[in-house]
Amino acid sequence: MAVNPTQTRVRNAAIRLFAKKGFHGVGIRELAQAAKVSPASLYHYIGSKEELLADIMWESLERLLSAAMLATTDVADPQEKLGRLVTLHVIAHAVQAKETAVVDNELRSLAPKLRRRVIDKRDAYEQLWAETIEQGSEAGLFRPDHDGIARRALLEMCSGVARWYSPKGEIKLDRLASQFTDIALRSLSTGDAPPQPDMDRCRTIVKYTWGTRV
């Protein structure tokens, strides 16, 4: 992460503007103005506009992946694992909505080489979901016709949070997370009502990863 204050301003301005207008909708002059530097000075902190985008996306995915791994290692129960994945994913997309929106929307703006790096990260993350759903299916706990459809459906549902949720609205974050977890587990489970995952553990990981109290 950025330590230099100017670097932080640049990074934050880029996240905000890319999320609002899209990568190609933001010029470097506009970006420089938002970061309170001149267009020329901008290039002391970034390699290029595109590398800036790739860095933002990669770091966002890196945090999400590390949080998800922290939450699922040594957890045997697939329902508990999936519940934690959903909870963390939803919270991440709520408290880091702009970053995650950029990750979800701007892959196409990257040239093949940079895109590859980001996609690999994303695939590593989604692999966690795939394994968990597969384990649940094999254990007879989940009932999807097709694991891939279920994985995609749940991931898109949870990522969509970044597109509409506002922390300033009436919906509290823990209620959001618990209802999403409920929807996700209920839609996949074969048997009775699934339990809530270990929320305290998730809270700890969120605090550690994104520095946000939940």
Partner DNA sequence: CCTAGACGATCGAACGATCGGTCGGCTAGG
Partner DNA sequence: CCTAGCCGACCGATCGTTCGATCGTCTAGG
DSSP-derived secondary structure for 62-90: HHHHHHHHHHHTT---HHHHHHHHHHHHH
DSSP 8-state symbol, 167: T
- 35 touches 7 (CB < 8 A): no
Secondary structure of 178-206 as H, E, C letters: HHHHHHHHHHHECCCCCCCCCHHHHHHHH
Q: Closest CB to its own copies among 58 and 165?
A: 165
The site partner of 195 among DNA, its own copies, none (C-beta below 5 to 8 Å per kind) is none
Q: Is 142 helix (H, G, I), strand (E, B) or coil?
A: strand
The Cα–Cα gap between 177 and 4 comes to: 34
The site partner of 38 among DNA, its own copies, none (C-beta below 5 to 8 Å per kind) is DNA
Side chain identity, residue 8: T
Q: Closest CB to its own copies among 74 and 145?
A: 145
- Binding map of DNA across residues 42-81, x = CB under 7 A, - = no contact: xxxx--xxx-------------------------------
Q: Which phi and psi angles does 189 have, rounded to 5°?
A: -70, 145
Q: Give the CA-trace dihedral at 79, 85, 90, 95, to 10 degrees.
A: 140
Considering the complex, what minimum distance in angstroms separates the CB of residue 54 from DNA? 12
The site partner of 207 among DNA, its own copies, none (C-beta below 5 to 8 Å per kind) is none
Q: Closest CB to its own copies among 44 and 163?
A: 163
Q: Closest CB to its own copies among 47 and 148?
A: 148
Sign of the four-CA dihedral 120, 150, 128, 207: positive
The Cα–Cα gap between 202 and 179 comes to: 15
Among 7, 12, 159, 212, the residue binding its own copies under the rule CB under 8 A is 159
The site partner of 28 among DNA, its own copies, none (C-beta below 5 to 8 Å per kind) is DNA
Q: Is 150 in the site for its own copies (CB under 8 A)?
A: yes
Q: Is 13 in the site for its own copies (CB under 8 A)?
A: no
Q: Is 116 in the site for DNA (CB under 7 A)?
A: no
By CB under 8 A, what part of segment 167-186 binds its own copies?
171, 175-176, 179-180, 182-184, 186
Interface with its own copies (CB under 8 A):
20-25, 105, 108-109, 144-146, 148-150, 152-157, 159-161, 163-165, 171, 175-176, 179-180, 182-184, 186-188
